[in-house]
Amino acid sequence: MTLFDSPEHHPPSRLRHYTIRALGVVITIALFVAFFPGYLWYPFVYYRETKTANRFMHSVVSGNMQQAYQIWKPSPSYSFRDFMDDWGPDGYYGPVRSYRLGRPEHLKNSSATDIAVDVSPYQPYPDGDPIKLNSSKTVHIWVNFKDQSITFPPY
């Protein structure tokens, strides 16, 4: 071997580089799941209640008030006339042309979840227009866990 001859140089293996990166990603995901399980668990907990509220509001928006009244599953004291006084075209919350569901919240020692619904007389929902947004109303509805009935909260 002479002065200008050097031993053969072998670059480090790419397999080792990819293995270390993959292991880093797996450890990061595992730590996230361990410390923040609510982010993965939360969307599935109130899925049925959110779907019931969505079906109800879709029926109200489409004008199918009989179906909306059936989804509401009212008590005998809440007649269809009372329902129309609240949700009908000339009702307190009407006319409802679009809506936006809020995040469901479970109240402590309660058998229902509280969902805030923003209702608007404009189609589509006016996210950016402050004048149209001013005519929107926020309604809190409770969806019962057991039978998926809907009621107004007692407060």
User: Is residue 139 domain-shared with residue 74, that is, in the same domain?
Assistant: yes
The tens digit of pLDDT for each residue in 60-107 reads 999 999 999 999 999 999 999 999 999 999 999 989 999 999 989 988
DSSP structural state of residue 135: T
DSSP class per residue in 85-117: HHHSTTSSS----EEEE---EEPTT-SEEEEEE
pTM (2 decimals)?
A: 0.75
Average pLDDT, the chain: 90
Phi, psi of 37 (to 5 degrees): -70, -20
Q: Does a structural domain hold residue 56?
A: yes
Q: Does a structural domain hold residue 58?
A: yes
What is the pairing mode between strands 98-101 and 137-144?
unpaired
* pLDDT score for 1: 57
- State the CATH number of the domain containing residue 92: 3.10.450
Range of the domain at 27: 13-45
Number of domains in the chain: 2
Q: Does a structural domain hold residue 54?
A: yes
* pLDDT score for 23: 95
User: Is residue 30 domain-shared with residue 104, that is, in the same domain?
Assistant: no
